[in-house]
């Protein structure tokens, strides 16, 4: 089979946040050897850099390896060329997100800050428009908000996430001619969910234990907050348990994300040294979601919400921007692609080893 070489591939990656130093790489293999997660079946980061340098676009697009990296930063720290392989893997993930996304919006938002701002403003204006249409009546806006959240989750999953996962499957498994028996797929399901919710693999990066724990709390806090607000109707429930539960998970989300933001400001760890706009958006919006939800509920409990309607509208705007823009097209997708990558990679290596 012929291989198409695309010399512009690296320029493309730079638009996704790759540092220009990546090309300093002289292929000593240090990054791969120092990596705690790489295995014989998935050799990275060096091999990924190689594909990038040679412009092997098809191979690069079908590569699962970038998703198997949890960015502990060992490779960048010890790289003898200061080529930042860790950040290269991160930009590869952004790029691959845009490759999987059938709408093309993901790539647009990763590459263009103006486009991102326009989209965010549009969403905000629409929500305010809805408020206007409802004559800024608190109850009907909250009612709308509740229905809107459910509809949003459903449509994002059906219209964007599922098709994109299938696209990823097509690129990494079908196109790579991996013919695994169906049973392997069934067996792997447990692993899929385990990795989705726990990021168990990242524990292998020794320095990551605390970070892993923080991340675990955020994932659970986020999911539980979602369940409490959307399905247990946190904002209108009278059930004391649910109310307190909501406070705990909401607090968890914004306190830990605040720490994530601080780390990105301090830039002390390799992991938080470089921040792409998408990284900032992700942590800040996650923080805002937890924080505004928390405040809204406090205002409800203190009967102050009717005087502070605007705060609920802000909360709704944050939710809408998160749900419409960041979840389907931004960094949130890591949650899915990472776990499916582990799933696919296991199937792939089981098939290759058999």
Residues in touch with another protein (CB under 8 A): 26-30, 32-34, 38-40, 43, 46, 78-82
Pick between residue 26 and residue 132 the one whose CB is nearest to another protein: 26
- Measured in residues, the chain has a length of 354
At residue 295, φ and ψ (nearest 5 deg) are -65, -45
Give the angle subtended at the CA of 320 by the CAs of 315 and 326, to the nearest 5°.
115
Question: How far apart (Å, rounded) are the C-alpha atoms in residues 216 and 259?
Answer: 14
Pick between residue 52 and residue 224 the one whose CB is nearest to another protein: 52
Pick between residue 64 and residue 224 the one whose CB is nearest to another protein: 64
At residue 42, φ and ψ (nearest 5 deg) are -130, 90
Q: How far is the CB of 21 from another protein (least distance, A)?
A: 10
Nearest in space to 177 (alpha carbons), one of 77, 59, 309: 59
Q: How many of the other CB atoms lie within 10 Å of CB of 95?
A: 24
At 111, list the tokens.
Answer: 């590459």
Pick between residue 82 and residue 301 the one whose CB is nearest to another protein: 82
Pick between residue 42 and residue 106 the one whose CB is nearest to another protein: 42
Q: How far is the CB of 77 from another protein (least distance, A)?
A: 8
Q: How far is the CB of 85 from another protein (least distance, A)?
A: 12
Q: How far is the CB of 34 from another protein (least distance, A)?
A: 4
Q: How far is the CB of 95 from another protein (least distance, A)?
A: 24
At 286, list the tokens.
Answer: 């996650």
Nearest in space to 271 (alpha carbons), one of 89, 108, 124, 132: 89
Q: How many of the other CB atoms lie within 10 Å of CB of 1?
A: 4
């Amino acid at each position: 089979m012929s291989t198409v070489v695309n010399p512009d591939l690296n320029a493309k990656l730079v638009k996704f946040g790759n540092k220009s130093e990546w090309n300093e790489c002289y292929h000593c293999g240090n990054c791969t050897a120092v990596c705690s997660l790489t295995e014989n079946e998935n050799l990275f980061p060096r091999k990924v850099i190689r594909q990038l340098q040679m412009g092997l676009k098809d191979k690069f697009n079908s590569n699962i390896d970038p998703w198997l990296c949890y960015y502990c930063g060992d490779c960048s720290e010890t790289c003898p060329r200061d080529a930042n392989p860790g950040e290269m893997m991160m930009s590869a993930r952004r790029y691959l997100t845009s490759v999987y996304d059938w709408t093309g919006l993901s790539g647009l938002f990763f590459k263009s800050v103006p486009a991102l701002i326009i989209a965010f403003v549009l969403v905000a204006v629409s929500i305010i428009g809805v408020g206007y249409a409802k004559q800024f009546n608190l109850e009907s806006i909250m009612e709308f908000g509740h229905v809107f959240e459910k509809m949003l989750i459903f449509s994002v999953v059906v219209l964007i996430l599922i098709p994109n996962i299938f696209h990823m499957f097509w690129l990494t498994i079908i196109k790579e001619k991996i013919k695994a028996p169906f049973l392997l797929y069934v067996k792997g399901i447990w692993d899929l969910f385990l990795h989705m919710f726990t990021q168990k693999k990242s524990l292998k990066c020794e320095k990551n234990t605390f970070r892993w724990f923080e991340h675990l709390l955020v994932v659970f806090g986020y999911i539980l907050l979602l369940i409490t607000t959307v399905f247990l109707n946190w904002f209108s429930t009278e059930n004391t348990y649910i109310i307190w539960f909501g406070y705990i998970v909401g607090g968890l989300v914004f306190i830990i994300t605040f720490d994530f933001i601080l780390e990105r400001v301090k830039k002390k760890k390799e992991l938080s040294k470089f921040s792409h706009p998408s990284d900032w958006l992700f942590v800040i919006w996650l923080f805002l979601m937890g924080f505004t939800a928390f405040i809204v509920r406090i205002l409800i409990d203190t009967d102050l919400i009717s005087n502070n309607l605007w705060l609920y509208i802000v909360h709704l705007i944050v939710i809408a921007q998160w749900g419409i823009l960041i979840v389907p097209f931004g960094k949130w997708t890591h949650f899915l692609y990472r776990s499916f990558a582990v799933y696919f990679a296991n199937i792939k290596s089981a098939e290759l080893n058999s």
